[in-house]
Amino acid sequence: MKLHIAVLPGDGIGPEISEQGVAVVKAIATKFGHDVRFTSALVGGAAIDAVGNPFPEETYRICADADAVLFSSVGDLKFDLDPNAKVRPEQGLLAMRKQLGLYANVRPVETFQCLLHQSPLRQDLVEGADFVCIRELTGGMYFGEKQEGTERALDTCVYTRAEVERILHVAYAYAMRRRKRLTVVDKANVLATSRLWRKVAMELAPQYPEVQTDFMYVDNAAMRLVQEPRFFDVLVTENTFGDILTDEASCITGSMGLLPSASIGEGTPVFEPIHGSWPQAKGKNIANPLAQILSAAMLFEHFGLLSEAQLIREAVRQSLDAGIRTPDIQTPDGAHYGTREVGQWIVNWIAQQ
C-alpha cells in the first residue's frame, strides 16, 4: 500500500517522540513492503514562533493532501505563563480538528499486565480493563458562542441532531467490532443538550439490536471508571465530558505515556498520543514514546492493515516485559532507557520478526 503521512512534531517532547513514531512506521513499511512517504509541517508554538499562526495554511494543505497525520503535541511554558497571550499553541489543535472535520476522538484504554502495579487503583480493579472512549470533538462549549468580561462570562453549549447522530454511529460501529456494549454518558437530568443526546441515542439503538445500550449520568460514569473500569466496553459522550473522562480513564493504566488516540471524521484522520508536550522534559531523552508508537498502530489499523498494527502492539508488549522502559514506568531497580533507546529497541525487534 502507498501511504502519504503528514508529520506534525509540534512542541516540547513532540519532536523526540515523533522521531520514534516515524522510525516504527518505517520499520513496519519495510517489513510488509509498503511505500510510505512523509511530509513534516509546523503546528502549535513552533508555528507561532515561525509564522505567527498555530495552524498555518501550509500545514492545513499538507494535512488535507495526506492520507493520515501523525501528530505529537502542542504547548509551551512561555505561552502558559503569559495570561495576555492572544494566540496560543492549543488553538492550533482545535483549528486542525475543525478544519479537517474531525468530529470523533477515539481513545482505547487497555492495561498491561506487567504494569498493573503502576495504576493508582487496586490491581483487582484494573486487571483486564479494556474499553474505548469516543468523544465528540467539534461541538459543545469548546466551540459555542463565548462572552468574557470582568463580572460575567458565557460559554454556550450547542449540539444539533446531525452532530449527535454521526458520533453515535461511530460509537455503535466500534461496539459492533468489540463486545457489543455501548454506554451513552450525559447529564440529561439537568442539561437540554444531554436530553437531545439521549433522545437521539434511544432512536438509533434499534438500528443496532446486537448492541446493549446503557445510559449513565456523567457524575456516575466518573465514579464507575474508578470503581469498576471493567464494566465499560465502548463509552460515548459530548466534548467537555469527554475531555474530562478520557483523562481520568488514562490514569487506570498507570501512565498517560502509554495511551494513543485517533481523531476521525470527514477529512484526513489524525493519530496522536493523549499526553501533552511536557516542555520541562524537552531535550532530556526521558519522554515515553510508547503512546506515539501505539498511535502509529492505530494509523495502520485505520487502513485495514491489522497485521501491521498487531505487530507494533506486540513489540510494545515485548519491550515492557523485557524492562525496556523510560523512567516514568521503570521499576526502581530497572536499567535506564531513554526515548531513543526504547524506540530503537522496538524498531530492532520488529526487524527481527
Q: What is the mean pLDDT of residues 28-36?
A: 98
Residue 148 has pLDDT above 90, yes or no: no
Cell numbers for 101: 472535520
Around 118, how many Cα atoms within 13 Å sit in the side-chain half-sphere?
A: 22
Task: Express each pLDDT in 183-222 by its tens digit.
Answer: 999 999 999 999 999 999 999 999 999 999 999 999 999 9
- Check residue 255 and give its pLDDT: 83
- Check residue 129 and give its pLDDT: 94
Rounded CA gap, 107 and 134, in Å?
7
Task: Express each pLDDT in 237-283 by its tens digit.
Answer: 999 999 999 989 988 988 888 999 999 999 999 999 999 999 999 99
Give me the residue label for grid cell 474505548.
132
- Check residue 194 and give its pLDDT: 97
Give me the residue label for grid cell 470503581.
227
Rounded CA gap, 89 and 80, in Å?
9
Which SS3 state, helix, strand or coil, does residue 182 take? strand
Cell numbers for 23: 522510525
Which SS3 state, helix, strand or coil, does residue 300 take? helix
The DSSP bridge pattern shows strands 104-110 and 181-186 to be: unpaired
DSSP string, 189-251: TT-HHHHHHHHHHHHHGGG-TTSEEEEEEHHHHHHHHHH-GGG-SEEEE-HHHHHHHHHHHHG
Determine the number of helices (DSSP H) and then strands (DSSP E) in the chain.
13, 12
Q: Give residue 327's pLDDT band: very low, low, confident or very high (50, 70, 90).
A: very high
- Check residue 80 and give its pLDDT: 79
Rounded CA gap, 113 and 129, in Å?
10
- Check residue 82 and give its pLDDT: 75
0.75 surpassed by pTM: yes
- Check residue 117 and give its pLDDT: 87
Task: Express each pLDDT in 60-86 by its tens digit.
Answer: 999 999 999 999 999 998 887 777 788
- Check residue 142 and give its pLDDT: 87
292 within 8 A of 275, measured Cβ to Cβ: no
- Check residue 86 and give its pLDDT: 83
Q: Give residue 32's pLDDT band: very low, low, confident or very high (50, 70, 90).
A: very high
User: Which domains are delineated in the chain?
Assistant: 1-111+255-353 (3.40.718.10), 120-128+138-253 (3.40.718.10)
Task: Express each pLDDT in 298-325 by its tens digit.
Answer: 999 999 999 999 999 999 999 999 999 9
Residue 286: count other Cβ atoms within 10 Å of its Cβ: 18
The DSSP bridge pattern shows strands 270-273 and 234-237 to be: unpaired
Active site members: 142, 187, 219, 243, 247
- Check residue 254 and give its pLDDT: 83
